[in-house]
Structure 1
Amino acid sequence: MRRSQIALVLALFFVAGAYASFLPDWTGFYTVFGIGFGLSLLVPAVWRLGPKRWVYLLATVLAIFACFYVKIRTPQPQANDISKYAPISNVIVRGQVVEPPSLTRSERAKFLLEVREINPSGKLNLKDISRNSDPATTSTTSTTETKSDEANKFVATAGKLYVTVPLIEVTGLRAGQAIELSGRLYLPSRADNFGAFDFKSYLARQGVFAGLSGRSLILQGDPPSFGEWWFISKIVRAHVMGAGVPEGSLLSSLVLGSRAVDLPSDLKDDFINAGLAAVLAASGFQVTLVLGSAIAISRNSSLKLQFLIGSLCLGGYLLLTGASPSILRAVVMGFGSLIGLVVQRRSRPVLGLVVTAVLLLLYQPLWIWDLGFQFSFLATFGLLTTSRSISERLEWLPPAIAELMSVPIAAYIWTLPLQLVVFGKLTPYSLLANVFTTPLVSISTYGGIISGLLAIIFVPIGAGIAWLLYPLLHWTIDIAQWVNTLPNANTNVGAIHLWQMLLAYALFMAIWLVPWFGKMQRWTIAFVLACVVLFVPNAIAQTTAFQVTLPAFNDVPIMLIRNQNQTVLINSGDRQFASFTLQPLLQKLGINRIDWAVSTDTQPDVSDGWNTLMSSSVAIAQFRDISLGVTPKPYQDLQQSLATAKTPLASLKVGETLTINNQVEVQLLNQSPDILKIKTGELSWLMLANADQKAQQVIITQKDLLPKLSANILWWTGGQIDPKILEAISPKIAIASATSVVEEIVNQFYEAKIRVFWTGRDGAIQWTPDKDFHTLRDQQDSRSPI
């Protein structure tokens, strides 16, 4: 037992050290050293039967090594990396496809390409053309060929590219295929908004530092004649043939994982919003079924044969699904169970799980940032440490039901703190959904595996089995969609701080390890305390928050104001911006309702943005518009949506003031061009949107309007401003919601000692009374490059 305790401490410290590597500069090393040294003094004094002091000191050294190891293994561009050529508007590259293409939300295909050659000019070398030309015409191009060879030749390069191309271009494309691509080479950008997905960092962790927006694709050479794609295609074809779409696609995802099959985006969203994302990812559950079936089939054979059959099944399943972190974790633990079976020794699953995590991080340390790895590890840890205790406390239920409920409850408890840190969202019906769907998913997965094996032999036989599973799959989809219709199915509670997550996990560990918490009452006290740590600080902070956020979006002014539990949103952007930027921001801020929505534009794409927010369960209490005179079809749809939601809709008149509370006001000073004056505490903002030179002349002619323009902050879209208007405003700060700003006006502001921000350079901009103005770029630059 003592050896297992030592191994567990060392492994946990290694994982913690790897996770601490994200802290900027040397903070991670100092943090690991301080915590480790403190534990070495405290824990042996309290837990006398536990590991000795030298174990914690050794574990601290191991954690520091993990910090260094992650930083050393962080990918960096090579000297001849293709990213050195970016950006280029027209380029031709040659290389080999790394992974099978998959579908993006914009209905394009995406894949990774291992690059071998690049033609920076974007023109084919005439030698390449003449190789496939008629010999009679080759001689006529020899003179031109000599002149253009140097300009148009391919040069050797290296690195990976993130490629997107039209869906029709990838027909028949497989991993390992050599191709030639033409398109636009670009450098991935960092996140421009708070809470948005950092695409650049995501690709960098995979060793990808450039992207290619492809226009055309040419296959080179013969495609691979055999591989895992051959098995996958037969399995997916049988499932879809038998159960149809989307039920057949869901069955393939249950068996192979969502990476092996493209599920419709709306179906993915239904499962994710219902708290059933784990259903779509091949993980420990599927590996357990595969290994259990292999052992059951070979139970009358020798131990060595059982080990061989189990290993072949695990290896084959790994090849089919791909080496994702969750699958590798489950497969490595499965091999550990097989070894324990052969040597006839009782396994210690918790120790095996932690050691497996260490082995995987040694293989690929950057998986420490992979959410699939983190959630899979925590969910499995919860099942091993907590599910039995929960089942015992559900003794008032029938044993089968208590066991069924304990599994999702344990996984939910242990993943909740991480979910709140990353997403700031709570899915209160997740437990209910998992309890209802677990029997359906279990039977469907078993049936899907059998169907897939038979489909490899003869597709129609596999399709027949899939046809029998159709009702179970259809009911699973119905449950996910039904859960999302329940009140408050997705509740934004706000992203918690790192200290809250760590303290909550410390309490969970205490419940598991400390005998004092074994009694029901003390266990309940610790769990309630953990919930207080997770939710109460955010609830208090939201009641006192005073914050103004200016997101970055395509030269459109957007403002989000929070004060005294009141939320004001001026403009929403288009559908994509509302879905991928505003929704995550609202989640992390804990905002479920827009008290006042103000729209200064009725363009179709802007109307789509408001509709997207409303469809995501964000309620709008009051809607005000400045330009109700123009009502294109999409805007009419928005009006209908507002009417259905019983949201009051009215036009904001010139001179009218919306008084949100004693610190926030919004007033319309002028229409065409639209001018808003916004009060936030002691500051006054003047929003000057879409004011070209002609519109500015209209403003200047209104002598009674000019005195009203005076404001502390000028908020405009980056264009030139007439000196008379600028003099009337007399701002101290100028903020442009624009990708670029006229250089002349920037110089003019600098000479007048006016602070200048713009979203194209600084990313999203935020103001709070205590921190004044700060930008997303300031925040990103203070972090570690990892």
Structure 2
Amino acid sequence: MDLNNIILFACAAFAAGIWQAALYSWHFPTLAIVAVLLLITSLWRIIRNYQHSFWPVISLFFVAGMLCYHQAVIVRADDIGNYAGQTVNIEGTLVAVPEITPIDEQKRRVRYLLKAEKVTPAGAKAACYVTGNIRINTQYKEETSKPAAYGDKIIVTGKLLELHGYNNPGQIDMVAALKRQGITARMSGQEQMLQVLTTYKGYSWQVVLANWRDRMITGLQQVMPVNDAAILTAVLFGGYQGINKDVISDFAATGLIHILSVSGAHIALVVGLITWLGRRLRWGSLFTVTLAAVVVILYACMSGLTPPVIRSALMGLISLLAVILERESYAPAALAVTALAMLIYQPLLLFDISFQLSFGATAGLVFLYQQTVEYLSNYPAWLAGTLAVTLSAQLSVLPVIAWYFNSFSLISFAANIIVLPVIELVIILGLAGVIIYTMVPVAGNIIFVISSLLIGLVMMLTELLAAVPYSLVYIPAIGIIGSVVYYFVLAWVYGWRPFKLPGPGQLIRQWPRSCSMAAVLLIITVAVYALYPQPLTVHFIDVGQGDATLIITPHGQAVLVDTGGTMGESDFDIGARVVAPYLKHYGVRAIDYLILTHGHQDHAGGAAGVASAIRVANVLLPQEKYSPPVQALLHTRPVAVIPAYTGQRFLLDEVIVSIEQAVDESEIILRAAGGNEVSSVVRVSYGQHSFLLTGDLPAQGEATLLTKGLASCTVLKVGHHGSRTSTTEPFLQAAAPKFAVISAGYGNQFGHPHPETLNRLAAREIVVYRTDKQGAIVFTSDGKQLKVEPYIK
């Protein structure tokens, strides 16, 4: 086996070792002993006969990957994250340029990165030295104060919190992404929590670069519309800030969303432009490659040297090195060495979506491109090449796209032919513009205006393509086993022939009848599986401080009760970014009934986002004045609105969904309109089990429900996130649940769930599951048996 293959297998074994160590807990000393034995065996085999050393070496890399993972997840004893949950004073230095986002005309949101140095817990007399970084989110008023700056030494006071995201299947793990940056805790509050001890007087290239980038953005905004300026800023420097949501959706639907963040495509474009100029101007190979390398490094610095940019730049530089050495055939090994080096430095990168997509797409170009061009040889050369690039990259990362996004853009092939050349021209003009603007602002502005016109053309084309029917198709997540089968078939189609397997063409020619029968049998099997009734599943989705419950019936009909919603001034759309992806991950492509127990933000705030991503047939609303979240839902797209009333019920695949209690208009007049007391109570019954969902119903509402006669339930969604004013003792006695689910946000300011509520549940020996501790909770039932599966065990 040649060196190329050995390097490829070594990289794959190292990655597999990381993945295996993440799945199962292993005894570290035992792994270390095994690694030493494998190292000795490998060296002995290499000395004796290197051709017999392959498996010991590959096994060594596998175990090394497991060891590296264990080292990466170890938390140091002096890490600041160990103080999470305590009120502390933290002294440290700001090690990144603060990110400032406008909230309104006066308020600004600031995000700091603090390198912790000393911590003093509340009540302690002496400070302790610590390590690690924390993220601080705060606000300030522009008229009365200004934020701290990079390099300042500050002291911050408040409650330190653990990093915590939305723990749902298929969700991008933002906590892991922060930990890869050395961030192990967080803190939020107002500007008064932070005090500058000493200001930084030294030179910082990060500050110089940030100020230069701000001047460029200001220059863009002066000569072009705000949305155009935001798009050009995104394609040059990365980030979606300021871009209209519809534009982002169109880019996603046409498969061009990667253009809005600096990636390998940008680096390849820069390298290609320099190479073309070098050939035209006869600069010579060495000078051209050297200049391209310098420009790549400068561009990476301009873009902020974020981890994805660094990865793209490294791959570009290694490709240039292969050109200098005239070893383009070493591209697979170069890619493997780059991936291996980055995984050794940071093993947790293996679970980063950006890492998976960038290296997966590049691997597709390296291994599949040439063969794909041959498959498309009947097309014109320029068309075959363009299609082959898109097809190779997409095929190589399809399982990853299915897992995280559950959609595939069929129109991306047309978009890459029609729109991508225009976008590439925008990038080239934009880069030229920012360079020229630095020296001659007037000339730079002219280029920016031309870029703005082209951006208008890009938005028009992407909108037209995104509107094409079935331009974006649903693809289900196929999991680990499905992915292994997929890549095995892909490799087989592209020429991998283990055990002398015949190729697909040869197989069809030699056994046409058998192949036809196998295809028909496969179609029948898939159809039977799709039509065969599945168990009922009830999902309590982790939406932080809010409620969202998904019911999927045996034949795949879906009911969504509440949608969560972000509290405060955050612009994070839980419906679009948490609930809708969760539904798609579980194959929900349409919602038969969306039931909002009441109109509060934490229950209905995500409704508009869900409706914009997934078709909603019917909406059940309480008979109260429509709150802003409900109004936003009704303005998103036309839906059938059904007023909720007590005794209402509907049957879906033998699953009964009934409204146990809902207030009518006369009751609303007597009560405080829009309060928790108007919460509808929903019961889901199937066979021997039922689920009672009480929204934010307080004790008074529970007492009213008891007077109507409350049947027992198997699972209770505890009212009002476990507050003290709900889930009273008489109510628990009547409901008599075996399981209780509390949907609450980690470290929420309300103290939910309240200890008194937890004590009442514990006194009745009710098994309690909490989304703030265990993430999404999924109950599965065939009508007789009931199983529960929390996301975090």
TM-score of Structure 1 vs Structure 2, range by shorter chain: 0.7 to 0.9
> What is the 5 A alignment of 1:741-780?
741=753, 743=755, 746-769=758-781, 772-776=786-790, 779-780=791-792
Aligned to 2:16: 16
CA displacement at 1:605 relative to structure 2 = 6.0
Partner of 2:616: 620
2:360 equivalent to 1:365: no
Q: Does 1:255 align with 2:236?
A: yes
For residues 382-415 of structure 1, the C-alpha deviation after alignment (integer angstroms, 9 at most, x for no partner) is 1222233333333443322222222112211111
Normalising by structure 2, we get a TM-score of 0.79
Cα deviation per residue 1:58-78 (whole Å; 9 max; x = unaligned)? 22222221221232234x443
Whether contact under 8 Å (1:624, 1:650) holds in the other structure is yes
Asked if the contact 2:170/2:403 (under 8 Å) is kept, the reply is: no
- Counterparts of 1:722-737 in structure 2 under 5 Å? 723-737=729-743
Shift of 1:504: 1.0
User: Which residue does the alignment assign to 1:661?
Assistant: 653
| Cα distance in 2 between the residues matched to 1:422 and 1:553 | 17
Match of 2:429 in 1: 447
> Superposed, which structure 2 residues align to 1:479-518 within 5 Å?
479-488=461-470, 490-514=472-496
- Equivalent residue for 1:7? 7
Distance of aligned partners of 1:542 and 1:358 in 2 relative to their CA distance in 1, 3 Å threshold: farther
Question: Equivalent of 2:318, from 336, 352, 356?
Answer: 336
Separation (CA, whole Å) in 2 of partners of 1:301 and 1:636: 63
CA displacement at 1:82 relative to structure 2: 2.6
For residue 438 of structure 1, report the CA deviation from its aligned partner.
1.4
| Residue correspondence of structure 1 range 110-189 to structure 2 within 5 A | 110-118=111-119, 156-166=129-139, 175-176=150-151, 178-179=153-154, 181=156, 184-189=159-164
- Whether the aligned pair in 2 keeps the contact of 1:15 and 1:357 (CA below 8 Å) is no
1:635 and 1:332 map into 2 onto residues whose CA distance is: 48
Q: Kindly indicate whether the alpha-carbon contact (under 8 Å) linking 2:90 and 2:155 is maintained by their aligned counterparts in 1.
A: yes
Q: Is the 8 A contact 2:564 2:574 kept in 1?
A: yes
* Deviations 1:659-700 (CA, angstroms, capped at 9, x unpaired): 122233324356467443321232123344444443444445
Relative to 1, partners in 2 of residues 1:656 and 1:246: Cα closer, same or farther, differing over 3 Å? closer
2:575 is aligned, of 564, 573, 578, to 578
Assess if the C-alpha contact under 8 Å between 1:283 and 1:326 holds in 2.
Answer: yes
In the alignment, structure 2 segments of 5+ residues that lack a partner are 39-49, 567-572, 664-677, 746-751
* d(CA) in 2 for partners of 1:611, 1:188: 28
Q: 2:80 matched to which residue of 1?
A: 82
Kept in 1: contact 2:436–2:443 (CA 8 A) = yes
Q: Where do 1:625-640 residues align within 5 Å?
A: 625=621, 627-632=622-627, 635-639=630-634
Query: 1:103: how far off?
Result: 4.7
Question: Which of the numbers 170, 173, 178 marks the counterpart of 1:203?
Answer: 178
Q: Which residue of 2 aligns with 1:474?
A: 456
CA separation of 1:114 and 1:264: change in aligned 2, threshold 3 A: farther
- The answer for the alignment partner of 1:142 in structure 2 is none
Match of 1:559 among 549, 553, 572: 549
SS in 2 for 1:348: helix
Which of the pair has the greater relative contact order for Cα pairs under 8 Å at 6+ separation? Answer: 1
Secondary structure of the 2:201 match is coil
Give me the TM-score of the superposition, normalised by structure 1: 0.80
3-state DSSP of counterpart to 1:780: coil
CA change 1:190–1:698 in 2 (3 A) is: same
Change (3 A) 1:5 1:692: closer
Aligned counterpart, 2:418 = 436
Q: Per-residue displacement from partner, 1:432-485 (whole Å, max 9, x unpaired)?
A: 333322111221222222223223323332222222222222222333344444
Q: Do 1:115 and 1:159's aligned partners in 2 also have CA atoms closer than 8 Å? A: yes
* Distance across 2 between alignment mates of 1:289 and 1:373: 20
**Corresponding residue of 1:62:** 61
1:91-110 paired onto structure 2 within 5 Å: 91=89, 93-99=91-97, 101=99, 103=101, 108-110=109-111
- 1:323-379 Cα deviation digits (max 9, x unpaired): 445433443343334434444445432222222212222333322222112111111
Alpha-carbon distance between aligned partners in 2 of 1:306 and 1:460, rounded to the nearest angstrom: 30
| Worse-matched range after superposition: 462-471 or 542-551 | 542-551
Partner of 1:128: none
> Aligned residue for 1:73?
72
SS in 1 for 2:792: helix
Q: Per the alignment, do residues 264 and 521 of structure 1 end up closer, same or farther by CA in structure 2, a change over 3 Å counting?
A: farther
1:190-589 to 2 correspondence within 5 Å? 191-216=166-191, 218=196, 220-222=199-201, 224=203, 226=205, 227-229=208-210, 231-258=212-239, 267-297=247-277, 300-301=282-283, 304-488=286-470, 490-514=472-496, 540=530, 544-552=534-542, 558-563=548-553, 564-574=555-565, 576-589=573-586
User: Structure 1 residues 395 and 716, CA, compared in 2 at 3 Å: closer, same or farther?
Assistant: same
Q: Amino acid of the residue matched to residue 548 of structure 1?
A: V
Q: CA distance change for structure 1 residues 606 and 360 in 2, over 3 Å: closer, same or farther?
A: closer
- State which drifts further: 737-746 or 332-341: 737-746
Deviation at 1:728, TM superposition (A): 3.5
Distance in 2 between residues matched to 1:628 and 1:295, nearest whole Å: 67
Counterpart amino acid of residue 60 in structure 1: S
8 Å contact kept, 1:667–1:678:
no
Q: Which string of whole-angstrom CA distances, capped at 9 and with x for unpartnered residues, describes residues 536-584 of structure 1?
A: 5997399624201123457755421111121111222236432333112
1:289–1:639 Cα change, 3 Å:
closer
Q: Is the 8 A contact 1:250 1:263 kept in 2?
A: yes
| AA at the equivalent of 1:439 | P
Label 1:115 to 1:479 Cα distance change in 2 as closer, same or farther (>3 A).
farther
1:18–1:365 CA contact under 8 A, matched in 2: yes
Q: Is 1:710 equivalent to 2:712 in the alignment? A: yes
The separation in 2 between residues aligned to 1:210 and 1:721, in whole angstroms, is 33
Look up the equivalent residue of 1:683 and give its one-letter code: H
**CA distance 1:173–1:278, change in 2 (3 Å):** farther
**Structure 1, unaligned stretches of length 5 or more?**
38-50, 123-149, 782-786
Please give the residue correspondences for 1:684-699 in structure 2 after superposition, counting only pairs within 5 Å.
Answer: 684-699=690-705
Q: Is the CA contact 2:437–2:445 (under 8 Å) kept in the aligned structure 1?
A: yes
Q: Structure 2 CA distance, aligned partners of 1:410 and 1:96? A: 43
498-507 or 77-86, which deviates more: 77-86
**Residue of structure 1 equivalent to 2:671:** none
1:286 deviates by 2.2
Do the aligned partners of residues 539 and 177 (structure 1) sit closer, same or farther apart at CA in structure 2, a change above 3 Å counting? Answer: farther
SS of residue paired to 1:431: helix
Cα gap change, 1:87 to 1:619, in 2 (>3 Å): same
Q: Indicate the residue corresponding to 1:140 in structure 2.
A: none
8 Å Cα contact 1:192/1:764 also seen in 2: yes
Say if 2:365 and 2:389, in contact at 8 Å, map to a contact too: yes
Distance 1:115 1:623, change over 3 A: same
What amino acid does structure 1 have at the position aligned with 2:718?
W
Q: Residues 716 and 739 of structure 2 are in contact (CA less than 8 Å); yes or no, is this contact kept in structure 1? A: yes
CA contact (8 A) 2:178 2:184 kept: yes
Rounded to whole Å, the distance in 1 between the matches of 2:644 and 2:214 is 57
Secondary structure of the corresponding residue to residue 495 of structure 1: coil
How far does the alpha carbon of each residue in 1:62-106 deviate from its partner, in whole angstroms, 9 at most, with x for none?
A: 2221221232234x4433333333335574643123355265999
Which residue identity lines up with residue 623 of structure 2 in the other structure?
L
Q: 2 CA distance for matches of 1:214 and 1:398?
A: 60
Equivalent residue pairs, number: 718
Contact 2:541 2:777 in 1 (8 A): yes
- Which residue number corresponds to residue 147 of structure 1? none
Q: Which residue of 1 aligns with 2:593?
A: 596
* In 1: Cα distance, 2:679 partner to 2:436 partner: 68
The letter for the 2-side match of 1:620 is: V
